[in-house]
């Protein structure tokens, strides 16, 4: 009988215990620096009316991460998980697409109305570096830009330049 009473007390008190658990990301101000990207988007080649894909970007894990769900008009898909790393005090993004080739973007900071990452990779067995930026244009527009260089920054080549337009415009 004592065991049954103990179990019932645990069950009854569990919801109270669960509600008292802190949500660490809500207390960290920088964990919401990238919230401007959350939403449903039509994605265009910047400067054109050519749609190249659609993206659904969600807040997940109690606001501790942002999940991107990308689909191009050609049918390719991809996902990225984006999160603020309190150990480095920087944002990070891990991307994987249906074409393979995962990519990690590091050192993300929000400054000058943009989330700005850097990355390192290889091309033709040589190291390359680049910049990856999300410009917070307004509440309904985000510009995503990536460049690459393989000669210590002497030559910068734009990999892509996309404009995200929210499918349900915010007032």
Rounded to an integer, what distance in angstroms lies between the CA atom of residue 169 and that of residue 38? 12
Asked if residue 1 belongs to a domain, the reply is no
Asked if residue 6 belongs to a domain, the reply is no
- Residue 95: give the domain boundaries: 25-166
Q: What pLDDT score was predicted for residue 16?
A: 46
Asked if residue 90 belongs to a domain, the reply is yes
Q: What pLDDT score was predicted for residue 35?
A: 96
Asked if residue 20 belongs to a domain, the reply is no
Rounded to an integer, what distance in angstroms lies between the CA atom of residue 71 and that of residue 79? 9
Asked if residue 34 belongs to a domain, the reply is yes
Any idea how long the chain is?
Answer: 171
Rounded to an integer, what distance in angstroms lies between the CA atom of residue 153 and that of residue 155? 5
Total domains in the chain come to 1
Rounded to an integer, what distance in angstroms lies between the CA atom of residue 85 and that of residue 65? 10
CATH of residue 155's domain is 2.40.128.20
Q: What pLDDT score was predicted for residue 145?
A: 97
DSSP E strand stretches across 6-123: 39-45, 51-60, 65-72, 77-85, 90-97, 100-111, 114-123
Asked if residue 126 belongs to a domain, the reply is yes
Long-range contacts of 4-9 (CB under 8 A, 24+ apart): none
Q: What pLDDT score was predicted for residue 154?
A: 80
pLDDT tens for each residue of the chain, 171 residues long: 555 444 444 444 444 444 555 677 878 889 999 999 999 999 999 999 999 999 999 999 999 999 999 999 999 999 999 999 999 999 999 999 998 889 999 999 999 999 999 998 887 888 889 999 999 999 999 999 999 987 777 889 999 999 999 998 777
State the pTM of this model: 0.83
Asked if residue 135 belongs to a domain, the reply is yes
Q: What pLDDT score was predicted for residue 7?
A: 46
Per the listing, tokens 């101000």 go with: 29
Asked if residue 18 belongs to a domain, the reply is no
């Amino acid at each position: 009988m004592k065991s049954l009473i103990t179990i019932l007390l645990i069950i009854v008190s569990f919801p109270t215990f669960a509600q008292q658990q802190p949500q660490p990301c809500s207390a960290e101000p920088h964990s919401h620096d990238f919230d401007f990207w959350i939403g449903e988007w039509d994605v265009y080649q910047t400067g054109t009316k050519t749609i190249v894909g659609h993206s659904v970007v969600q807040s997940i894990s109690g606001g501790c991460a942002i999940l991107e769900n990308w689909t191009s008009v050609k049918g390719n898909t991809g996902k990225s998980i984006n999160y603020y790393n309190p150990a480095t005090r920087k944002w990070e993004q891990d991307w994987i697409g249906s074409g393979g080739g995962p990519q990690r973007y590091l050192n993300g900071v929000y400054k000058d109305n943009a989330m700005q990452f850097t990355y390192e990779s290889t091309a033709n067995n040589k190291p390359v570096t680049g910049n990856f930026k999300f410009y917070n244009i307004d509440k309904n527009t985000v510009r995503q830009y990536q460049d690459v260089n393989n000669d210590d920054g002497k030559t910068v080549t734009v990999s892509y330049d996309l404009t995200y337009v929210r499918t349900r415009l915010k007032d």
